[in-house]
Structure 1
Amino acid sequence: MNEGRRPATSTDVARRAGVSQSAVSRAFTPGASIAEETRRKVEEAARALGYRPNAIARSLTTRRSRIIGMAAAYLQNQFYPEVLEAMSRGLRARGYQLLLLMPEHGRHADPLLEEVMAWQVDGLILASTTLSSALAEQCRQAGIPVLLFNRTTSTAHVSSVTGENHRGGQRIADLLVAGGHRRFGFVAGIENSSTSQERERGFTEGLARHGFDLPARAVGSYSFEAASAAARNLLARADRPDAIFCANDHMAIAVAEVARHEFGLRIPEDLALVGFDDTAPAKWRSYALTSFSQPLQPMVDAAVALVCEMIENPAAPTRQAVVPGELVMRASTRLPESGWLDRDGQRIWRGHESG
């Protein structure tokens, strides 16, 4: 140890290990090319001297902070805490650290711009929040690549990673019609959210294909409290829906609570219920919620690869990656006579694709 003396520097480590200073830098940079014997010498010298690489000093040299900002407006929905954990692991394996930014729920991420610039992040991932064209342009001018996660935008120069929102809505309509339902409801998320819009569009188009009008509609804003109010609105109607699709699982659980405990309804006998995301609570026996899956790890893997590619190659073209999912059937919906299959202990709705 260097108690009583100045902290060891990379120059000290290089001298002790008998290697160049650049070799020391590569030894502590994940993914950098370096011979294993050289790495071993550097690590032994660093331990002997008590050396720790200085991330701030390195960023001044490389002009990279190795920090990726991720904006997530709310964490009540279990999908996003799971995403954050997986995203942090994936970025750390690439040598980056994740910085969580919290914009106001339901608003643009624009007020975060000062934080983004102050932290000198190498890239920005926006999840559960929206992007204005002004923020996109400011980030582009600053050389900060922006990736939308579970969101899309019409703004140019922005890449995205999403699940099958439109197709998922269509599949849910097919399942509910096959289950014998005739009165449908939809609980929307935040009105300007592309995910909610695409899921609703797929659902209404799917119902129309079977000859049904638009479903009864209420807005849950991706909030437990707002979704509970939306459920009361729908279930108090004279033509109460016998099947409700909620734009995510978090809201579907709120609807289930209201249906059971305030209206005395049985699920699925009196009311079928479907969510979206297939989060952990959907699998709990208390809810056994039918839900269209958003495969979390494949989506995170795609996002990590894409944001790292944009950082390392600023000229790379924008891409919109769509990760396929499945409609997982559980006890919150009626079981049609056909159109489904068992796979790895799960019942998957295939509809007309099953043949």
Structure 2
Amino acid sequence: MFPYCDFSGVDFLEADFYFSSFGESWGFYYCRFYQLAEFSRSLFRGRFSFSSSVFGSTASFHRASFEKTVSFGEVIFKDNVTFNGAYFSQNADFAGETFHRIPDFSSVGLPDTLDFRNVKFDFPQGYYLNGEKLNFSRSRLRAPTQQKCAILISGTDVGQLLLPYDRFQLVLDSKATYEEIVSTYETIISNCKNAGLLESVEGWDIEYRKLQMRHDHDWVGPAINWFNGWWWNFGYDRGLILWRWLPCFFCCFLLINYLFIPTLWNKMYQDPELGIVFRKNKTKEPIRPPVKHGLQRFLFTVFYTAVIYFGFKLRHESVNYKHGILMAYLYFMYGVGTIHMAFAFSYILSAY
């Protein structure tokens, strides 16, 4: 164990700290590692820093554990580096980092904050990427109760990052322009789409749309966002319109109509052909709604509501335009139903 140590400015031909334990160390400032730098399975108990060091060959932090803040700021990795299975407890600073190879962050335990500002990807000539990204898709939160990892990415080429939505929260520079923010989101969404991370595509896209709506519609934006989420989850769950909101609205109108059916019939709208089953004789005289509460009144109200809500032969010439409130109520019911039917047909057609 190294309780208190300062390796500032030390040149290492080869550094083997496999399975080492570091206490309240000062760190490896301005060090140069010429060959293998091995820190696999090491435990860093205190605040630690590798700031401004240069790793000339392979560096391994496989399953290393950082219990407090760690800094790799301004570090240069000239060859492969792996943080596979590493555990970050608090904040991890990689600001100003330079990678000459795509680093391995698979199965990494994410910190509360990951500073990836101004990270450079300086690949040597002839280095074949084959579309490879700095992939966080197999990263993990330290505990189910942990909030998303806040990642700062201003000044970094986000085209090299693959960020799953359920584990990351973007923190952008307050000075970033709207166009820069838009470009960042579009690139992240494109990366997730190409990698087949469809849930992340949905999450980032919804967040992106909310941002656009707030920008384009100012104070009305949050209200529009609320409605889009409530109505159909920004188009990602269109079935909500059919399986939740259509019956919900219909039942609400049905309840209102059941309570006030005599008034609605006499003062709002009379359908001359409504429900032949309710005719007591074979005449073509318009029927009258049952007044008493019960099954007959309920069934009549169902037909009455359906005729208006679903637009089944709604006769506009039979509308009583003298009562403005009732007329507005009728066309509101008719409009909501028409919208639902339009989405229903669209939803059915899109399935084929």
Q: Same fold (TM over 0.5)?
A: no
Q: Which has the higher contact order (CA 8 A, sep 6+)?
A: 1
Q: TM-score, normalised by structure 1?
A: 0.23
Larger radius of gyration, structure 1 or 2? 2
Q: TM-score, normalised by structure 2?
A: 0.23
